[in-house]
Amino acid sequence: MYRETIDLKETAEQYKESIKSVSRRIIVCAGTGCMANGAERVYKAFISQISLSGLDVVVELKEENHGIFVSQSGCQGFCQMGPLVSIEPENLLYVKVKPEDVKEIVKETIIEGKAIERLLYTIASTGEHCKGPDEIPFYTRQSRFVLKRCGYVDPENIKEYISLGGYSAAEKAYKLMEPKEICDEILKSGLRGRGGGGFPTGRKWDLTRIQQEKKKYVICNADEGDPGAFMDRSVMEGNPHSVLEGMMIASRAIGADEAYVYVRAEYPLAVKRIRKAVHDAEQAGILGDNIFGTGKSFHVNVMEGAGAFVCGEETAMIASIEGKRGMPSPKPPYPAVNGLWGKPTVINNVETLATVPLIMTMGADEYRKRGTEKSSGTKTFALTGHVVNTGLIEVPFGTTLREIVYNIGGGVLNNDGTLSEDGFKSVQIGGPSGGCLTEEHLDMPLDFDSLRGIGAMVGSGGLVVMNKETCMVKIARYFMQFTQNESCGKCVLCREGTKQMLALLDDIIEGRATVETIDLLEKLAKAVAQGSLCGLGKTAPNPILSTLKHFRKEYNEHVINKFCATKNCKSLRAPEIDPVLCKGCTVCKKKCPVGAISGERKMVHKIDVSICIRCGACVEACKLNAITGV
């Protein structure tokens, strides 16, 4: 349906005038993490408590607003400390806010203008209270570029996005630039795909542009399935219009008039917000027919995927959108030539598309000042695992792992939650398709090429930090279990190879393996990597190959000594009796069929590991749970 496109400048000015009239703004983080911890109840409590205090509360900006504006945002990044509440113009950030804290915040901060220290972030090492993001190392050490607006704008308010310059880059692309100009600008910026492959975005667009077909498509790959990764989800939840604007610019660059956002059904909040963004953009005449009065059309469909990891691979995604089983196809032909329904198609992930409007606004030369020569710009990472500060971060390419783990992340934690001085063991980067980085890589600049050179990859951006109490063999098994479950089964090497690699890892952690098992595992991993059809199969062995490369000693301990130093592999734990729990009742000694337990009555007993057959009789007999490792 035809709608005249709204005037972007006029809309922006109207919104700016409306926001000026409110006395304060309270922003409650409404990303998935904070929502799971009760952010919605905090939001409603603010609306209720402000009204009860006799103050005017504003939840929807209009031309004349006087009072306190309460809004929600997408993920503010500091997930470890949620729910998060920001208060403007003081630039205060309160952490771990509960609904019962709201009354005090309204009284002390909103009415009396005082900061509440107990709700401020405290630096553990110094005890210093930080009033806002400008004082918190987690934020100050980052370079929030794509994520800058995710924790500030209301993701369901198109006018706020427009007030910050939103859709002006798309208007420029449609009204003032030719398709080749756009492709050249993106190519000049050095932007590479953030979904894992790192292919130059401008080159991909230009390959699609030169195809002579009249019908072309754009697909936004929002099928983020890596364990521990939530970058694309957070961008869609926090700034969905930036993704749509990136898609519009891509459509103009290649000559497409239709697009799909392929998003995981497991992301209900992201699905809801991207659908609302599409609806609002259509109502504003920004999407649809004759956009910006150019006679060009662009329609966006939102499709929910069924949760298959393999559908993150572009040809499998195309098959899924077409209503077929999500299975990859051999390449070439590439989607740029023969994609959705046989037509030329550009596929980019969420983060890539959200970066495009920023490049078009600031220019390629300015954008290239960020990052490294061959990996320009920034990268978002989901920082999780044994680290003090978990959450969503963004840093320029070339940042070191040490900076991320120790300065932004705040350091490594022991399993008991205490800060470890020398506990770092490894980081798994790139999820099940990536590899592990060790202490020797802490000062290596992270970018596409440096990681590829050591057998790892940026991937979509998952960073899982592991301490020295982590068993790397079990980590390899965890990721292999995931990829084996997610294999579509189309090619034999991936279907059967992942299954056999998983079985070999089980033999190792359960004490059945020999030295030949490790050699066979390595040969099989290399064969699967070389011969599989798609990216899932080719990269599935990466966690095995990288842990074998950096932690082969740990594998050998499991196989030769039948011993897991971290005590994570139950079958390889040394049987022992806890001297604190043991009361010397002699029950276990009497039940042991081989006489492996010694000790006098009312004295701590001991197990002779060389005799013990691990039958479990002693464990069943002990009422004090003093025996482990059997």
pLDDT digits (tens, 9 = 90+) for 140-163: 999 999 999 998 999 999 999 999
Q: Where are the beta strands (DSSP E) in 80-145?
A: 85-88, 92-94, 121-122, 129-130
Instruction: Tell me what pLDDT residue 2 has.
Output: 57
**Separation CA 583–CA 272 (nearest Å):** 59
pLDDT tens-digit series, residues 25-81: 999 999 999 999 999 999 999 999 999 999 999 988 876 778 899 999 999 999 989
Q: Which long-range contacts (CB under 8 A, 24 or more apart) does 40-48 make?
A: 41/99, 42/83, 42/85, 42/97, 42/98, 42/99, 42/101, 42/102, 43/70, 43/72, 44/99, 45/99, 45/102, 45/103, 46/70, 46/102, 46/105, 46/106
Instruction: Tell me what pLDDT residue 81 has.
Output: 94
CB 9 within 8 Å of CB 56: no
Instruction: Tell me what pLDDT residue 3 has.
Output: 73
Question: Can you tell me the mean pLDDT for 355-379?
Answer: 95
Mean pLDDT lowest among 278-282, 429-433, 441-445: 429-433
CB 427 within 8 Å of CB 450: no
**In sequence order, which ranges of 297-389 are alpha helices (DSSP H)?**
314-321, 350-362, 364-367
- Residue ranges of the domains in the chain? 10-137, 165-367, 378-470, 473-570, 574-630
The domain made up of 10-137 has a fold known as Glutaredoxin (3.40.30)
Same topology, domains 10-137 and 378-470? Answer is: no
Beta bridge partners of 414: none
The yes or no reply on domain 165-367 and CATH 3.40.50.11540 is: yes
Beta bridge partners of 436: 428
Instruction: Tell me what pLDDT residue 117 has.
Output: 94
Question: Can you tell me the mean pLDDT for 516-537?
Answer: 92
What is the CATH class of 574-630?
alpha beta
* CATH of 378-470 given 3.10.20.600, 3.30.70.120, 3.40.47.10, 3.40.50.300: 3.10.20.600
The domain made up of 473-570 has a fold known as de novo design (two linked rop proteins) (1.20.1440)
